[in-house]
Amino acid sequence: MKILIVKTSSLGDLIHTFASLEYLRQKHPEAQIDWVVEAPFAEILKAHPCINQVIEIDSRNWRKGKNLKAFFQFLTRLREVRYDILFDFQGNTKSAIVTFFSRADKKIGFGKSNVAEWPNLLVTDIKVDPNPQLNVRQENMFLVQSYFQDFIPFQQKNSPLRASITEKSLIDHILKNPIIGNRRKVMVCPASAWKNKQMTKSSLINFLTQVDRHVSSCFLLIWGNEEERLHCKRLQDAFPDKAFLIDRLSLPALQNLMNQMDLVIAMDSLPLHLAATTSARVFGLFGPSSALKYMPEGSRYDFFQGICPYGKHFSKRCPILRTCVSGACLRGTVEDDVFKAYIK
């Protein structure tokens, strides 16, 4: 069997689809499973053991009329294989173009109630509408299981991403840092692409102080850009003998390091969802997004959900996530409330 997955972005959304990918690999161990993705996000898919081929696109340049030769090269490669099944998890106009040009006997996508943009409805043969109350991972799984008419609960095994020998050596070196000693290894990922999804520095420091008092901990601080690095540096200064910055890692290396942690504390961001693909215990901090929708489910996962002081209600993300000046649902959170949820 040949299966094509169309899920082009973003990193967190790709990870939300991993359980469905592993389900497909378990159900069809010998299948060829390929994935179409935007080039900047291809790294994590190339390292996934369940994927045979990653087909990259560069839609941003194509929309600007640049490098059209590469667009036609992409179409040629896309159409080299005739697939038995195509699953369009993206559900928007961009993925509709990919799905339309793909050669597949059956094209499965979301229905009218769940599709992100209506043109996608024109290119799929089978349309599925999961219950909107489902977790985002369950929505993706429902799309796949509906096609196979197999609704037996699937337990994700969280396949480790392939890390190079150099990356594994780097992880070993990190774990030998003398600051760790006999302390509990706690990875802290304090940043997010949206500031309203972050705790303030002072609240986070106070919360981590309570965490450390509860069980003596060493904090491994993760960052993605220079602003986040400076944020982590301030956290390190607050815990000079119990925290250290990790050099920026590739996503496969980061996931393998997470797998060695006792606990990962993260905002609703990429590191949180990546940690959910490991064996680590995870504590997520949510404000303008719904933990019920985006937090992984299971006994290893716990969360704190901030409350909007302006009375906004939402099932996925707050409608004023990008415009709210205060971000008070999380940035105005009292660290004692977070710690109570943590202890629970």
The predicted-structure confidence for 65-114, as pLDDT tens digits, reads as follows 677 788 888 999 999 999 999 999 999 999 999 999 999 999 999 999 99
Q: For the whole model, what pTM was predicted? A: 0.93
Cα gap 23→95, rounded to integer Å: 22
Residue 64 confidence class, pLDDT cut points 50, 70, 90: low
Peptide bond into 315 cis (omega under 30): no
Dihedral over alpha carbons 71, 99, 93, 46 (to 10 degrees): -70
3-state secondary structure 170-185: HHHHHHCCCCCCCCEE
Domain residue ranges in the chain: 2-148, 165-343
Average pLDDT rounded to a whole number, residues 273-290 = 95
Class of the 165-343 domain?
alpha beta
The predicted-structure confidence for 4-48, as pLDDT tens digits, reads as follows 999 999 999 999 999 999 999 999 999 999 999 999 999 999 999
**Topology agreement, domain 2-148 and domain 165-343:** yes
Q: Which residues pair with 4 in a beta bridge?
A: 34, 86
CATH architecture entry for 2-148: 3-Layer(aba) Sandwich (3.40)
The pLDDT score that the predictor gives to residue 155 is 83
Q: In angstroms, how far is the first alpha carbon of the chain from the final one?
A: 46
